[in-house]
Structure 1
Amino acid sequence: MNIVIVDDNLVNVALLRGLVRQIEGAQSVEFTDPRAGLEHVLRTDVDLLIVDYQMPELDGLDFVRILRSDTSKQDLPVLMVTADHEMELRHRALQLGANDFLTKPVDRVEFQARTRNMLALRRSQRALSERAVSLATEVALATDAIVARELDTILRLSKAAEYRDPETGAHVMRMAHYARLIALQLGLPEAEQELLLHAAPMHDIGKVGTPDHILLKPGRLSPEELVIMRQHARIGHDILADSASPYLQAAAMIALHHHERWDGQGYPLGLAGEAISLWGRIVAVADVFDALSSERPYKAAWTLEAARDFLLEHAGAHFDPRCVQAFVEAWDQVLEVRQRFQDEPPPPAESTLMELL
């Protein structure tokens, strides 16, 4: 246990040092200059401070007042050395944060008893602090595990929705990372970028409620079929909206808003401009870009440059211009995401399967 003794009297310092040496497991550092002692205590891990009241330039009361103004020293046990008759002084010292007192002349038995009590208090403080850190670490690990399982479930549900759609599982990963790039360029906080990354893959979860003959139709949809198809935005919102998960709450908003248009001509609500949630506006850009630049059974893939030009051409009409500009400014990173999450090759044709058999 590390004890600091601050007293301008060399005789007193020698006495107190000798008494500390009689306490097992204790060692002391002594200062006759109170300012040097204060600086040492403020920057060092100390278990007990023994400080005299009567010192030049900086007395014991000012010493304790300055010490307690440092939040990291609020719990440091302090023994103040005073004369027996200085009761008013003791009251002021207690108010400033002193814990106990030694009376001049210092008695060996009293010193050891009070010092041992203060060191026992310090050990208890350290044990509680270490336990609190341990519990906080355990809680953090448990929380991380819960969040990891939640995110894994979200991703698997997203992929499950994509299996009913001509789109691929790689699509949801690309568009989610595109969305994060846009959020980064717009200066959104990192926590919101992460939230968007994990929520965006759920944007089309409502397609689980779309009939196969409409969802998988290779040609253009009739007006009646288009009405049914567009219901997936509201269905997705209704599936996710009542969740307590912040990821699913964000995903519900994205599902509802990602087909809205900047000019108000989108669906399902016909919102315009900033009435559309920022998450919805971001995902609209990311989703359309990846849909255009990806091959589907009913269309060939556009070049990346052509898909980018489409976004620029329709900025201010279909898309939020700021989101389009943010996407274009991150073009090098867009290409990296495209390379990282590539579509799996299509399954072999029936004739090829027969040859394999």
Structure 2
Amino acid sequence: MLKNSRILIVDDVVDNIRVAMNILKEGNYEFTFANDGTEALRLIAQEPDSFDLILLDIMMPSLNGFEVCQKLKETPATRDVPIIFLTAKVDVDSITRGFDLGGVDYITKPFHASELLARVKTHLELYHARQVLIKHNLDLTTKASFEKVRLLSELEDNQKEMIFILAELMESTSDETGKHIKRVAENSALLAKYHPCLTEEDMEILYHASPMHDIGKMTIPLEILHKAGRYTEEEFVTMKQHTSNAYQLLSHSNRKLIKAAAIIAHEHHEKWNGKGYPRGLKGAEIHIYGRIVALADVFDALTHKRHYKDAWDIDSAVNYIIEHRETQFDPELVDIFQTHLDEFIAIAQSK
């Protein structure tokens, strides 16, 4: 166990600081704490070389954790100090932003003692090992970067393989087909491609995570799932549970694609006007991934035959999407759909 490592804990809730210190006290660490971002920067400026690790809350008044992290990474004296974000925000956007700004990890609140201890210990060991290498002029940056890329690529490939297996399992228990799942993935990626606020990485995530949108149907009784007629009110209540069930199944993963799949499965039946399910989210409260897959899924479902309905013609399906702009669907996504309609129709007509 590393001894005498100095940790700065930054959180505007004093109880959170106390909990973290009580958990970590067995590690023989030295602690300093700050109740906001401004105070944290002041303390670091006084002793820029004295902290070995920073536990940094995201949601704080004045300067938030993202802003503090950015300032520290822009300062040569502190850019290498590892920052672990402490957060109740576990959405993909927040996590991605934290890593993009230079954070090395994140821990969700409330803290789990074993997780906090393990992650702090790991990142302190990595930091001190890096300091030793620097002192001995051993530049392993290129090799380490190559290995990191290789490992990340391998992890992502494993996630994609698991998603493919689960999607195939879902097909065997419902009326979803592999072709439907592939078309939804292509539609979702196409919407992301033309969205002004999304990136190529978002396209990739949506393409590989959207096939899991209905994975929760595996938890629904087959007599309800395969019913040809209209659901009773009680049956529909059961059917709607596939969204929350999927989220419970997937949300414990820290892997990028699985976390995105959890969001998509949970939110793709929410509606822009707040009348969807399971939580009645409204407008931008719905994650952009959920909004995208909602439109992609409905358009494909309308244009293809299911056991409970015949396929609609393309014009009728397109009109449905347009007529439900600002009620069921994100208006910006409907505008993208209309602007690039030929590409969406080509996907719908693919075999």
TM-score calculated relative to the size of structure 2: 0.58
| Inter-partner Cα distance in structure 1 for 2:151 and 2:280 | 42
Equivalent residue number for residue 333 of structure 2: 323
The one-letter code sitting in structure 2 at the alignment partner of 1:161 is: M
Q: Which moved more, 1:212-221 or 1:250-259?
A: 250-259
Equivalent residue number for residue 170 of structure 1: 179
Equivalent residue number for residue 277 of structure 1: 287
Equivalent residue number for residue 297 of structure 2: 287
Shift of 1:266: 0.8
SS class of match (1:231): helix
Shift of 1:278: 1.3
| 2:169 corresponds to 1:150 | no
| 2:222 corresponds to 1:212 | yes
| 2:251 corresponds to 1:241 | yes
> Conserved in 2, the CA contact under 8 Å of 1:219 and 1:298?
yes
Equivalent residue number for residue 98 of structure 1: none
> Conserved in 2, the CA contact under 8 Å of 1:181 and 1:327?
no
The one-letter code sitting in structure 1 at the alignment partner of 2:179 is: A
Equivalent residue number for residue 307 of structure 1: 317
| Inter-partner Cα distance in structure 2 for 1:146 and 1:253 | 20
Shift of 1:336: 3.5
Equivalent residue number for residue 16 of structure 2: none
| Inter-partner Cα distance in structure 2 for 1:294 and 1:167 | 11
SS class of match (2:284): helix
Q: Which moved more, 1:329-338 or 1:143-152?
A: 329-338
Shift of 1:268: 0.8
| Inter-partner Cα distance in structure 2 for 1:289 and 1:153 | 26
1:298-327 per-position Cα deviation (integer Å, ceiling 9, x unaligned): 211112221111000111111111111112
| 2:170 corresponds to 1:161 | yes
| Inter-partner Cα distance in structure 1 for 2:178 and 2:202 | 23
| Inter-partner Cα distance in structure 2 for 1:280 and 1:242 | 18
| Inter-partner Cα distance in structure 2 for 1:339 and 1:135 | 46
Equivalent residue number for residue 88 of structure 2: none
Shift of 1:264: 1.3
Match of 1:136 among 141, 145, 148: 145
1:21-60 per-position Cα deviation (integer Å, ceiling 9, x unaligned): xxxxxxxxxxxxxxxxxxxxxxxxxxxxxxxxxxxxxxxx
Shift of 1:231: 0.6
Shift of 1:259: 0.6
| 2:263 corresponds to 1:253 | yes
Shift of 1:192: 1.5
Equivalent residue number for residue 195 of structure 2: 186
Match of 1:264 among 271, 274, 287: 274
Shift of 1:136: 3.3
> Conserved in 1, the CA contact under 8 Å of 2:159 and 2:258?
no
Shift of 1:135: 4.8
Shift of 1:236: 0.8
List alignment gaps of at least 5 residues for structure 2.
Answer: 1-136
| Inter-partner Cα distance in structure 1 for 2:193 and 2:232 | 39
Give the RMSD, CA atoms, in angstroms: 1.8
| 2:348 corresponds to 1:338 | yes
SS class of match (2:227): coil
| Inter-partner Cα distance in structure 1 for 2:190 and 2:338 | 10
SS class of match (2:184): helix
Q: Figure out how many residues of one structure are paired with residues of the other and give that number.
A: 214
Shift of 1:172: 1.1
The one-letter code sitting in structure 1 at the alignment partner of 2:266 is: L
> Conserved in 2, the CA contact under 8 Å of 1:180 and 1:193?
yes
| Inter-partner Cα distance in structure 2 for 1:139 and 1:250 | 22
| Inter-partner Cα distance in structure 2 for 1:276 and 1:288 | 16
| Inter-partner Cα distance in structure 2 for 1:134 and 1:338 | 45
Shift of 1:248: 1.1
SS class of match (1:230): helix
TM-score calculated relative to the size of structure 1: 0.57
> Conserved in 2, the CA contact under 8 Å of 1:293 and 1:301?
yes
Shift of 1:138: 4.1
> Conserved in 2, the CA contact under 8 Å of 1:163 and 1:169?
no
Equivalent residue number for residue 8 of structure 1: none
| Inter-partner Cα distance in structure 1 for 2:322 and 2:169 | 32
1:118-156 per-position Cα deviation (integer Å, ceiling 9, x unaligned): xxxxxxxxx976x65355334423432331121121122
The one-letter code sitting in structure 1 at the alignment partner of 2:184 is: M
The one-letter code sitting in structure 1 at the alignment partner of 2:265 is: A
| Inter-partner Cα distance in structure 2 for 1:317 and 1:159 | 32
**Cα distance 1:151–1:264, how it changes in 2: closer, same or farther (>3 A)?**
same
